[in-house]
Structure 1
Amino acid sequence: DAVALSLIMDLFTETADRAKAMGVFGFVCSGGGSIGALAGGLLTNAFNWHWIFLVNVPIGVAVVALSLGLLPAGRAPGTERRLDVAGAVTVTLALMLAIYAIVNGNDAGWSSTRTLTLLGSATALLGVFLLNEAKVRLPLMPLGLFRLRNLAAANVVGVLWAAAMFAWFFLSALYLQIVLGYSPLEVGLAFIPTNLVMAVCSLGISARLVMRFGIKPPLVVGLACAVAGLLLFARAPAAGSFALDVLPPMLLLGLGAGIAFNPVLMAAMNEVAPSDSGLASGIVNTSFMMGGALGLAILASLAGSRTEVLLAQGAEHLAALNAGYQRAFLGGALCAALAAAVGGLFMRSRAAGARAGET
Structure 2
Amino acid sequence: MTEIRTAPSGAAPLAAPSSRRWLTLVVVGLAQLMVVLDNTVVNIALPSAQHDLGFSNGERQWIVTAYSLAFGSLLLLGGRLSDLIGRKRTFVLGLIGFAAASAFGGAATSFGMLVAARATQGAFGALLAPTALAVLTTTFIVPKERARAFGVFGAIAGAGGAIGLLLGGVLTQDLDWRWSLYINVVIAIAAVIGAITLLPAMRHEGPRPRLDVLGTVLISAALFGVVFGFSNAETDSWGSGWTWGPIIVAAVLLVAFFAWQRRTAHPLLPLGVLLDRNRGAAFASVLIAGAGMFAIFLFVTYYTQSTLGYTPIQTGLAFLPMIGGLVLAAQIGTNVLLPRFGPKVLVPIGMLLVASAMVLFTRLDVHSSYAGALLPALIVMGLGMGTVMPGSMQSATLGVDRSSAGVASALVNTSQQVGGSIGTALLNTLAATTAATFAANHLAEGKAVVADAAVHGYAIAYWLDAALFVFGALLAAIMFRRRTPAPRTDAVASPQVSAEPVLAH
Tell me which amino acid in the other structure corresponds to 2:486: A
Q: Does 2:386 correspond to 1:254?
A: no
Q: What is the correspondence of 1:196-211 to structure 2 with a 5 Å cutoff?
A: 196-211=324-339
Alpha carbons of structure 1 residues 280 and 79: separation in structure 2 relative to 1, 3 Å:
farther
Report the more deviating stretch, 9-18 or 254-263.
9-18
Instruction: Return structure 1 stretches of 4+ with deviation > 4 angstroms.
Output: 27-35, 47-50, 106-109, 356-359
Shift of 1:48: 5.0
Gaps of at least 5 residues in structure 1 are none
**1:131 is matched with which residue: 241, 253, 259?**
259
**2:438 is matched with which residue: 278, 288, 310?**
310
Q: Is the 8 A contact 2:233 2:425 kept in 1?
A: no
Aligned to 1:322: 455
Q: Is the 8 A contact 1:99 1:297 kept in 2?
A: no
Whole-angstrom distance in 1 between the partners of 2:333 and 2:200: 32
Whole-angstrom distance in 1 between the partners of 2:469 and 2:457: 19
Whole-angstrom distance in 2 between the partners of 1:112 and 1:297: 13
Aligned to 1:180: 308
What do residues 267-292 of structure 1 show as CA deviations (whole Å, max 9, x unaligned)?
21223334433332222222112211
Aligned to 2:208: 80
Tell me which amino acid in the other structure corresponds to 2:410: G
Whole-angstrom distance in 2 between the partners of 1:52 and 1:219: 34
What do residues 125-163 of structure 1 show as CA deviations (whole Å, max 9, x unaligned)?
333333343334333322232231101111111111110
Report the more deviating stretch, 301-310 or 164-173.
301-310
Aligned to 1:265: 393
Report the more deviating stretch, 22-31 or 120-129.
22-31
What do residues 14-52 of structure 1 show as CA deviations (whole Å, max 9, x unaligned)?
322221221232345467556433221211222454542
Whole-angstrom distance in 1 between the partners of 2:162 and 2:228: 30
Whole-angstrom distance in 2 between the partners of 1:103 and 1:11: 36
Question: What SS does the corresponding residue of 1:292 show, helix, strand or coil?
Answer: helix
Report the more deviating stretch, 86-95 or 152-161.
86-95
Tell me which amino acid in the other structure corresponds to 1:331: L
Q: Does 2:218 correspond to 1:120?
A: no
Aligned to 2:222: 94
Shift of 1:88: 3.9
Whole-angstrom distance in 2 between the partners of 1:230 and 1:92: 33
Shift of 1:85: 4.2
Alpha carbons of structure 1 residues 230 and 92: separation in structure 2 relative to 1, 3 Å:
farther
Q: What is the correspondence of 1:220-299 to structure 2 with a 5 Å cutoff?
A: 220-299=348-427
Question: What SS does the corresponding residue of 1:201 show, helix, strand or coil?
Answer: helix
Alpha carbons of structure 1 residues 56 and 7: separation in structure 2 relative to 1, 3 Å:
closer
Q: Percent identity of the aligned residues?
A: 33
Tell me which amino acid in the other structure corresponds to 2:283: N
Aligned to 2:166: 38
Shift of 1:164: 0.6
Alpha carbons of structure 1 residues 209 and 124: separation in structure 2 relative to 1, 3 Å:
same
Whole-angstrom distance in 2 between the partners of 1:206 and 1:119: 37
Q: Does 2:336 correspond to 1:336?
A: no
Report the more deviating stretch, 316-325 or 201-210.
201-210
Shift of 1:194: 0.7
Tell me which amino acid in the other structure corresponds to 1:154: A
What do residues 52-83 of structure 1 show as CA deviations (whole Å, max 9, x unaligned)?
23422442344344323432222232362644
Shift of 1:248: 0.5
Shift of 1:212: 1.5
Q: Is the 8 A contact 1:133 1:143 kept in 2?
A: yes
Tell me which amino acid in the other structure corresponds to 1:237: D
**2:486 is matched with which residue: 321, 345, 354?**
354
Aligned residues: 358
Shift of 1:189: 0.2
Give the TM-score normalised by the residue count of structure 2. 0.65
Shift of 1:107: 6.2
Q: Is the 8 A contact 1:238 1:319 kept in 2?
A: yes
Whole-angstrom distance in 1 between the partners of 2:349 and 2:315: 28
Report the more deviating stretch, 307-316 or 232-241.
307-316
Give the TM-score normalised by the residue count of structure 1. 0.88
Whole-angstrom distance in 2 between the partners of 1:108 and 1:4: 35
Alpha carbons of structure 1 residues 235 and 134: separation in structure 2 relative to 1, 3 Å:
farther
Cα RMSD (Å): 2.7
Shift of 1:301: 1.7
Whole-angstrom distance in 2 between the partners of 1:71 and 1:197: 31
Alpha carbons of structure 1 residues 201 and 124: separation in structure 2 relative to 1, 3 Å:
same
Whole-angstrom distance in 2 between the partners of 1:118 and 1:21: 38
Question: What SS does the corresponding residue of 2:353 show, helix, strand or coil?
Answer: helix
Whole-angstrom distance in 2 between the partners of 1:280 and 1:104: 28
Whole-angstrom distance in 2 between the partners of 1:49 and 1:235: 34
Report the more deviating stretch, 85-94 or 141-150.
85-94
Q: Does 2:244 correspond to 1:140?
A: no
Tell me which amino acid in the other structure corresponds to 2:327: A
Gaps of at least 5 residues in structure 2 are 1-128, 444-448, 495-505
Alpha carbons of structure 1 residues 30 and 162: separation in structure 2 relative to 1, 3 Å:
closer
Aligned to 1:56: 184
Q: Does 2:478 correspond to 1:345?
A: yes
Aligned to 1:171: 299
Shift of 1:9: 3.3
What do residues 290-309 of structure 1 show as CA deviations (whole Å, max 9, x unaligned)?
21122112211222222222
Whole-angstrom distance in 1 between the partners of 2:157 and 2:238: 37
Whole-angstrom distance in 1 between the partners of 2:416 and 2:262: 22
Q: Is the 8 A contact 2:162 2:297 kept in 1?
A: no
Whole-angstrom distance in 2 between the partners of 1:106 and 1:282: 26
What do residues 244-265 of structure 1 show as CA deviations (whole Å, max 9, x unaligned)?
2211011001111112222112
Alpha carbons of structure 1 residues 202 and 123: separation in structure 2 relative to 1, 3 Å:
same
